[in-house]
């Protein structure tokens, strides 16, 4: 008696007598994937790949290379979108730029600021509780009517494109995003400490953090530092020149924060390089920055 024909479980129109060596289902040539022994079906191959632990770099990123720098793309898009909003709404920088503390008129209130009492004026900025400015200012740039205008955005996005792809590939998306945001806030905090009356905008603080991260990563990987040192010398020269027309405080604060965060990721003992410990370290840094802002606000408003 002739055996009944068997059919592929995915393509019933195909007659086949080959089974998947893993799940024992019948598979046709289109569904066959060569395995170490026999053939497996598409679903079993996919399940096997999902169970394999992906290789990671020293810092937590994928060791495979060629991973799409998705976070870098998103950050660039957010910066460009924020600039479009600036063009459409001229008051965006005044409302969301990094501003520590300024007295404006009028409100009819009475504020204590830098040792003096100012009746009839209103305090605005981070000192008045607008903490969001510490981050939102890092996604804004000089408005179109300023001397630099769109060039400020273009230069920052070029730097983000070149640095971001490298750093994101090494750190992985989550750590990279945390580094970027912490560097941005770190730059704003230094602005608040040194020049609270100054309005600062731009992604430069975060980008200087990426530059510091790139330097630490290169040293940790044992790369030839001659080209890296020249690169960092250019960034430091930019920091010096920027003192004349942009916020050097934001640049320096981002540089120090980015370097500190990456140093912790790169040189911490192996037992402390878990995601949970690294996340806890990020939370501690956020708490420290918040404490600095709180103390600075208290000094400005006479609480201390």
Distance separating alpha carbons of residues 160 and 73, to the nearest angstrom: 9
Average pLDDT for 198-224: 91
Q: What is the mean pLDDT of the chain?
A: 85
CATH superfamily to which 70-298 belongs: Rhomboid-like (1.20.1540.10)
CA angle 163, 169, 173 (to 5 degrees): 100
Predicted TM-score (pTM) of this structure: 0.78
Distance separating alpha carbons of residues 66 and 69, to the nearest angstrom: 9
Q: What is the pLDDT of residue 273?
A: 75
Burial code (b: 16+ CB inside 10 Å, e: under 16) for 265-296 equals bbeeeeeebeeeebeebbeebeeebeeebeeb
Parts of the chain belonging to CATH 1.20.1540.10:
70-298
- Check residues 64 and 298 and name the one with the higher pLDDT: 298
- Element containing residue 118 per DSSP (H, E): strand 116-119
- Phi, psi (rounded to 5 degrees) for 85: -60, -40
Q: Helix or strand or coil: residue 200?
A: strand
Residue 255 has pLDDT above 50, yes or no: yes
Min mean pLDDT across 2-11, 31-40, 79-88 is at 2-11
Share of the chain above pLDDT 70, in %: 85
């Amino acid at each position: 008696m002739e055996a009944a024909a068997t059919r592929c479980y995915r393509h019933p129109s195909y007659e086949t007598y080959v089974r998947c060596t893993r799940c024992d289902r019948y598979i046709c040539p289109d569904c066959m994937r060569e395995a170490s022994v026999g053939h497996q079906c598409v679903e079993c191959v996919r399940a096997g790949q999902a169970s394999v632990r992906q290789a990671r770099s020293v810092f937590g990123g994928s060791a495979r290379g060629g991973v799409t720098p998705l976070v870098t793309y998103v950050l660039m898009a957010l910066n460009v979108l924020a600039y479009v909003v600036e063009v459409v709404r001229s008051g965006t920088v005044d409302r969301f730029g990094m501003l520590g503390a300024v007295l404006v008129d009028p409100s009819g209130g009475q504020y204590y600021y830098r040792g003096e009492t100012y009746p009839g004026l209103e305090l605005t900025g981070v000192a008045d509780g607008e903490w969001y400015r510490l981050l939102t200012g890092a996604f804004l740039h000089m408005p179109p009517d300023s001397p630099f205008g769109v060039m400020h955005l273009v230069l920052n996005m070029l730097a983000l494109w070149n640095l971001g792809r490298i750093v994101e590939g090494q750190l992985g998306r989550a750590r990279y995003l945390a580094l970027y945001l912490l560097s941005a806030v770190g730059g704003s905090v230094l602005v608040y400490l040194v020049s609270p009356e100054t309005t600062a905008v731009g992604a430069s603080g975060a980008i200087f953090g990426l530059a510091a991260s790139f330097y630490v990563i290169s040293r940790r990987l044992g790369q030839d530092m001659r080209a890296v040192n020249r690169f960092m010398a250019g960034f430091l020269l930019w920091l010096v020149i920027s003192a004349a027309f942009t916020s050097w405080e934001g640049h320096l604060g981002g540089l120090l924060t980015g370097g500190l965060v990456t140093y912790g990721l790169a040189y911490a003992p192996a037992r402390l390089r878990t995601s949970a410990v690294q996340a806890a370290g990020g939370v501690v840094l956020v708490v420290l920055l918040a404490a600095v802002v709180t103390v600075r606000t208290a000094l400005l408003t006479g609480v201390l």
